[in-house]
């Protein structure tokens, strides 16, 4: 197992490395004494995915070993399969794919420099495309990439924006023209499909028993993060400073980092906004950015409201999204509590939707 497997544990090579290492996951999970680091990281992976929209390790100084990181992936898949939480599987797969997307885009842009210490640590476009069995379906051309129509249509099956429809595309010799950035989006979709495939898993009973404590711990962390969901007033002027800043960036046409976008969308969904309302508030309706936002919203919401609470102040601070703090910020630890308190204090306010 190597660092590439640790960063991209969904790759075929990572799966083979686990198999070749003859690791007995059941023994690791059921082991006596302290929790194995792979189980610890697996729990963190699921918690981060469902609460923060990313599976990046918490920036608390702890470093996970390569083996723990690689093995935490199959363990996380079992954990998310055991959770009694609608939408958990989809949200988990989306967070894993979003984190992988950030990493492979960075790898493609800055491949390793050939130094012995780093050689092989970066993922190349060819490797990822080959892993998804797309080598025959993706061709690099002078100005863009061509993706064979069949695979293209299956990769965009979750995309709803008109810009992805065949009618909006250049088509030649059975290949659809896409830019480099669009190809990366298609690979993110392919990553998510790979991760979501077979989920939820059918977990053997002895592993289910051995993971019962971890499953309870995860379920209680979602309950702890649950809020009253009584908020039904939309008053952007009373939003916490962090959400005001993210909303302003979206309205200015900036593309938010995935974790920041998740924070904003889950905050808005938590206060009861539906997809159309979020798109209207963000002023993206009718633009190419609307589709990406819709995709994010659909993975954050269930029919009623946000499935899981948006990130806490601590998480927003970790992502440098805690900005322009004011006095109220000193009294709370969660942006939703900030907003609830601000609404309470301001009495009757006009709902933005009634303006």
Provide the mask over 304-333, with x wherever binding to ligand SF4 is found by CB under 6 A and - wherever it is not: ---------x--x-----x--x---x----
- Identify which of 355, 354, 338, 353 has the alpha carbon closest to the alpha carbon of residue 238: 338
Q: Which is nearer to ligand SF4, 280 or 342 (CB)?
A: 342
Residues in the chain: 355
Stretch that binds ligand SF4, among 4-12, 78-86, 97-105, 237-245 (CB under 6 A): 237-245
Q: Which is nearer to ligand SF4, 199 or 329 (CB)?
A: 329
Q: How far apart are CA 182 and CA 155, in angstroms?
A: 11
| Residue 58 CA: distances (Å) to CA of 1, 41, 135, 225, 317 | 22, 10, 35, 17, 12
The sheet carrying 171-172 orders its strands as 138-140, 145-148, 175-178, 171-172
Taking a C-beta distance cutoff of 8 angstroms, is the pair 42, 75 a contact? yes
Residue 53 per-residue DSSP state: S
Find the Cα–Cα–Cα–Cα dihedral 196, 95, 20, 34, rounded to 10°. Answer: -120
The full DSSP string for 5-39 is: HHH-TTSHHHHHHHHHTT--HHHHHH-SSSPPHHH
Give yes or no for residue 259 binding ligand SF4 (CB under 6 A).
no
Give yes or no for residue 111 binding ligand SF4 (CB under 6 A).
no
Q: Which is nearer to ligand SF4, 42 or 53 (CB)?
A: 53
In the complex, the smallest distance separating the C-beta of residue 295 from ligand SF4, rounded to whole angstroms, is 25
What is the sign of the dihedral through the CA atoms of 15, 46, 103 and 64?
negative
In the complex, the smallest distance separating the C-beta of residue 265 from ligand SF4, rounded to whole angstroms, is 15
Q: How far apart are CA 67 and CA 78, in angstroms?
A: 17
Element housing 222 (H / E): helix 212-224
Which one among 1, 266, 338, 343 touches ligand SF4, defined by CB under 6 A? 338
Stretch that binds ligand SF4, among 81-89, 126-134, 239-247, 278-286 (CB under 6 A): 239-247
Q: Which is nearer to ligand SF4, 215 or 269 (CB)?
A: 269
In the complex, the smallest distance separating the C-beta of residue 85 from ligand SF4, rounded to whole angstroms, is 25
Give yes or no for residue 241 binding ligand SF4 (CB under 6 A).
yes
Which one among 42, 151, 240, 258 touches ligand SF4, defined by CB under 6 A? 240
In the complex, the smallest distance separating the C-beta of residue 325 from ligand SF4, rounded to whole angstroms, is 5
Neighbours of 307 (CB within 10 A): 21
- Identify which of 113, 124, 11 has the alpha carbon closest to the alpha carbon of residue 1: 11
The full DSSP string for 164-180 is: GSGGGS-EETTEEEE-H
Q: Which is nearer to ligand SF4, 226 or 276 (CB)?
A: 226
Which one among 43, 85, 156, 242 touches ligand SF4, defined by CB under 6 A? 242
Provide the mask over 156-195, with x wherever binding to ligand SF4 is found by CB under 6 A and - wherever it is not: ----------------------------------------
In the complex, the smallest distance separating the C-beta of residue 242 from ligand SF4, rounded to whole angstroms, is 3
- Per the rule left: phi > 0, alpha: psi between -120 and 50, beta: everything else, 120 is left
Q: Which is nearer to ligand SF4, 73 or 339 (CB)?
A: 339
In the complex, the smallest distance separating the C-beta of residue 52 from ligand SF4, rounded to whole angstroms, is 13
Total number of residues that touch ligand SF4 (CB under 6 A): 10
Interface residue list for ligand SF4 (CB under 6 A): 240-242, 313, 316, 322, 325, 329, 335, 338
């Amino acid at each position: 197992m190597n660092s590439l497997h640790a960063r991209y544990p969904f790759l075929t090579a990572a799966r083979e490395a686990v198999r070749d290492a003859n690791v007995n996951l059941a023994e690791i999970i059921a082991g006596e004494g302290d929790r194995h680091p792979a189980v610890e990281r697996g729990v963190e992976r699921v918690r981060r995915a469902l609460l923060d929209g990313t599976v990046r390790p918490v920036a608390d100084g702890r470093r996970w070993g390569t083996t723990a990181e690689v093995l935490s992936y199959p363990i996380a898949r079992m954990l998310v399969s055991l959770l009694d939480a609608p939408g958990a599987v989809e949200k988990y797969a989306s967070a894993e794919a979003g984190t992988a997307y950030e990493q492979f885009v960075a790898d493609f842009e800055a491949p390793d420099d050939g130094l012995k210490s780093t050689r092989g640590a970066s993922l190349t476009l060819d490797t990822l495309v080959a892993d998804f069995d797309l080598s025959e379906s993706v061709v690099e051309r002078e100005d863009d990439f061509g993706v064979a129509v069949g695979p293209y249509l299956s990769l965009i099956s979750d995309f709803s924006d008109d810009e992805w429809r065949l009618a909006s595309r250049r088509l030649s010799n059975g290949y659809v023209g896409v830019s480099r950035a669009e190809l990366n989006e298609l690979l993110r979709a392919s990553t998510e499909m790979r991760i979501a495939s077979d989920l939820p898993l059918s977990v053997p009973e002895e592993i289910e028993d051995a993971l019962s404590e971890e499953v309870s711990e995860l379920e209680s962390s979602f309950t702890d993060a649950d809020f009253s969901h009584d908020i039904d007033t939309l008053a952007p002027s009373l939003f916490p400073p962090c959400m005001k800043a993210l909303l302003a960036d979206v309205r200015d046409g900036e593309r938010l980092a995935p974790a920041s976008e998740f924070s904003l969308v889950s905050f808005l969904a938590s206060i009861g906004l539906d997809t159309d309302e979020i798109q209207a508030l963000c002023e993206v309706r009718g633009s190419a950015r609307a589709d990406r936002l819709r995709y994010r919203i659909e993975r954050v919401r269930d029919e009623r409201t946000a499935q899981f609470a948006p990130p806490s102040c601590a998480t927003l601070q970790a992502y440098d999204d805690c900005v322009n703090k004011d006095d109220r910020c000193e009294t709370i630890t969660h942006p939703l509590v900030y907003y609830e308190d601000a609404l309470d204090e301001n009495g009757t306010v006009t709902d933005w939707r009634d303006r």
